């Protein structure tokens, strides 16, 4: 693996945050009240992107396996679950406050010398002693606010899988080894929530728990590391922006026997994207102990009983969305002979097949999403609104919308419309011009190369399918 240590992409967190807001990917939560930190809203393009990222993971982790079943467990679970899981006792961050400026820090995220001298890294004021801060959101269920009514928002989706593992064995006749996959919300009262949607209090996870026979866990752990790495390669992510990080003894979560993170090189540096964990029999053992229920697996073929070991792959969905946005972000200088320009086409109202889009050089921002992930697959653009071109374009859109996510845009110069689609990451534009009326062909424009070709209307759907299947990211 070649390893880049310095970020050399075109994205910055400021550019991503601003593009995300401007184009309706992600908005600050409750913005009109000054914003709610740690929470974000996904706009029209954002929800499409998030759904596609989730869909790609779901397909990879369920449909492509014979022995992995899906689940959607409730966010609210019996409070004993979190005692059994160890979260009530261990799911804490070390916290210090500045007595002067009132800033709050994670003690493991400030320089050692500040901690030792108890000096605030921001204002030099005195820091409090370090105290443990539990990350679980706690509330009450029902009208009484007492210890009997305590309820938590789940800090990980995994526990919903463990408490259902026997149900799924019975309902789906699963045999070890097998997996259960789940996508859903998780909540953590994070002390530091900077970097846009990277670390938030409300987020989504995509987790798969693989139940294996003790003694085979290390083999499966390595297998799942391999599979998760290959998944990102398949998504077309820049592979020199990914690396493994093995947890040292001081980093291992309370449940983990071994753990590796897949880290991604974000604009702010290498950060965890996903974890692959060998959780051994910790979770099922603890649930057996706390619930008094038998959590053992009965292997009828070999007449054996045992508590399965669990290999977990745990990825942040919302963090994957940020990764995909950063990974896709590009800016390029468009040479005059490829430029979209501002005119609505050539003199005879036909898009030139040589790809000429204008006259002077300029910059474009483009999101080079894999077409499977792009919020809009194809935008249909009539060169002019008049002379029946808009109606023809709408008709073409209707033909495509059953199979593809489409957009329609008739306002402004064609070059500007191409730029808008580039910025939204739309891989294909279909432009309808006067020639389309005569010979039933359209212009198919490719986002990455800006190349334009003429395609018969009847062949567009098949051509898109083929282009998506053969898509390779431009180097
Ligand atoms: N079940 C194991 C587990 O939850 P984790 O390493 O704490 O492990 C797994 O979290 C993934 O969830 C991380 O790799 C990250 O992608 C995502 N994640 C965790 N905390 C997050 C947060 N506060 N905001 C966004 N994503 C988060």
pLDDT > 60? residue 291: yes
Residue 423 Cβ < 6 Å to ligand 1 = no
In the predicted model, is pLDDT for residue 336 greater than 70? no
Q: Is the Cβ–Cβ distance between 53 and 373 less than 8 Å?
A: yes
Mean per-residue pLDDT, 208-217? 98
Percent of the chain clearing pLDDT 90 (strictly above): 88
Query: Assign residue 339 a region: left if phi > 0, alpha if psi is -120 to 50, beta otherwise?
Result: beta
Whether residue 2 has pLDDT greater than 70 = no
Do residues 94 and 131 touch, judged by C-beta distance below 8 A?
yes
Instruction: Compute the distance from residue 163 Cα to the ligand 1 centre, in Å.
Output: 20
List the residue whose alpha carbon is closest to atom 21 of ligand 1.
Answer: 199
Tell the residue number behind the tokens 């080894």, with chain if given.
177
For residues 436-454, give the mean pLDDT. 97
Alpha-carbon distance 169 to 182, whole Å? 16
Question: Does any ligand 1 atom lie closer than 6 A to the CB of residue 272?
Answer: yes
408 alpha carbon – ligand 1 mean position (Å): 37
Is the distance from CB of 121 to CB of 113 less than 8 angstroms?
Answer: no
Q: How far is the CA of 205 from the centre of ligand 1 (A)?
A: 7
82: left (phi over 0), alpha (psi -120 to 50) or beta: alpha
Q: What is the pLDDT of residues 350-372, one digit of tens each?
A: 454 333 454 456 889 999 999 99
Per 3-state DSSP, the chain is made up of helix, strand and coil in percentages (nearest 5) of: 35, 30, 40
Ligand 1 atom at minimal distance to the Cα of residue 274: 14
What's the gap in Å between 197 CA and the centre of ligand 1?
12
Burial 399-426 (b: 16+ CB within 10 A, else e): ebeeebbbbbbbeebbbebbbbbbbbbb
What's the rounded mean pLDDT across residues 6-13?
91
**C-alpha 43 – ligand 1 centre gap (Å):** 22
Q: Using an 8 Å Cβ cutoff, are 71 and 168 in contact?
A: yes
Per-residue pLDDT of 93-107, as tens digits, reads 999 999 999 998 999
- For atom 22 of ligand 1, the residue with the nearest CA is 199
Whether 212 and 176 have beta carbons less than 8 Å apart is answered as yes
The answer to whether residue 347 scores a pLDDT higher than 60 is no
């Amino acid at each position: 693996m070649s390893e880049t240590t310095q970020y050399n992409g075109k994205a910055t967190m400021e550019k991503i945050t601003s593009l995300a807001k401007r184009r309706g990917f992600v908005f600050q939560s409750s913005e009109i009240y000054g914003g709610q930190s740690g929470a974000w809203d996904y706009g029209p393009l954002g929800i499409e992107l998030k759904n596609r990222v989730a869909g790609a993971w779901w397909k990879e982790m369920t449909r492509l396996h014979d022995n992995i079943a899906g689940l959607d467990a409730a966010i609210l679970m019996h409070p004993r679950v979190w005692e059994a899981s160890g979260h009530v006792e261990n799911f804490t961050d070390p916290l210090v406050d500045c007595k002067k400026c009132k800033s709050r820090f994670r003690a493991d995220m400030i320089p050692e010398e500040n901690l030792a001298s108890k000096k605030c890294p921001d204002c030099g004021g005195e820091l409090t002693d370090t105290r443990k801060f539990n990350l679980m959101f706690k509330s009450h269920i029902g009208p009484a606010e007492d210890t009997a009514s305590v309820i938590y928002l789940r800090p990980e989706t995994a526990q919903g899988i463990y408490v259902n593992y026997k149900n799924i064995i019975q309902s789906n006749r699963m045999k070890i080894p097998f997996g259960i996959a789940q996508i859903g919300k998780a909540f953590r009262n994070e002390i530091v929530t900077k970097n846009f949607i990277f670390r938030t209090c409300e987020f989504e996870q995509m987790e798969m728990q693989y139940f294996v026979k003790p003694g085979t866990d290390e083999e499966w752990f390595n297998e799942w590391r391999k599979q998760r790495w290959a998944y990102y390669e398949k998504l077309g992510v820049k592979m020199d922006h990914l690396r493994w990080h093995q947890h040292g003894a001081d980093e291992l979560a309370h449940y983990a026997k071994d753990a590796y993170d897949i880290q991604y090189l974000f604009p702010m540096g290498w950060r965890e994207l996903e974890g692959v964990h060998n959780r051994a029999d910790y979770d099922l053992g603890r649930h057996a102990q706390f619930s008094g229920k038998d959590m053992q697996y009965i292997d009828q073929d070999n007449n054996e009983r045992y508590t399965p070991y669990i290999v977990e792959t745990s990825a942040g969905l919302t963090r994957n969305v940020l990764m995909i946005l950063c990974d896709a972000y590009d800016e390029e200088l468009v040479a005059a002979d490829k430029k979209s320009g501002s005119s609505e086409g050539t003199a005879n109202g036909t898009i030139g097949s040589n790809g000429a889009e204008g006259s002077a050089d300029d910059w474009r921002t483009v999101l080079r999403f894999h077409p499977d992930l792009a919020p809009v697959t194809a935008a249909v653009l009539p060169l002019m609104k008049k002379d029946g071109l808009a109606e023809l374009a709408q008709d073409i859109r209707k033909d495509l919308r059953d199979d593809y996510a489409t957009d329609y845009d008739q306002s402004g110069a064609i070059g500007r419309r191409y730029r808008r689609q580039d910025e939204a990451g739309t891989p294909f534009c279909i432009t309808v011009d006067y020639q389309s009326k005569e010979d039933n062909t359209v212009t198919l424009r490719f986002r990455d190369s800006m190349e334009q070709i003429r395609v018969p209307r009847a062949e567009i759907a098949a051509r898109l399918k083929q282009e998506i299947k053969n898509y390779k990211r431009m180097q």
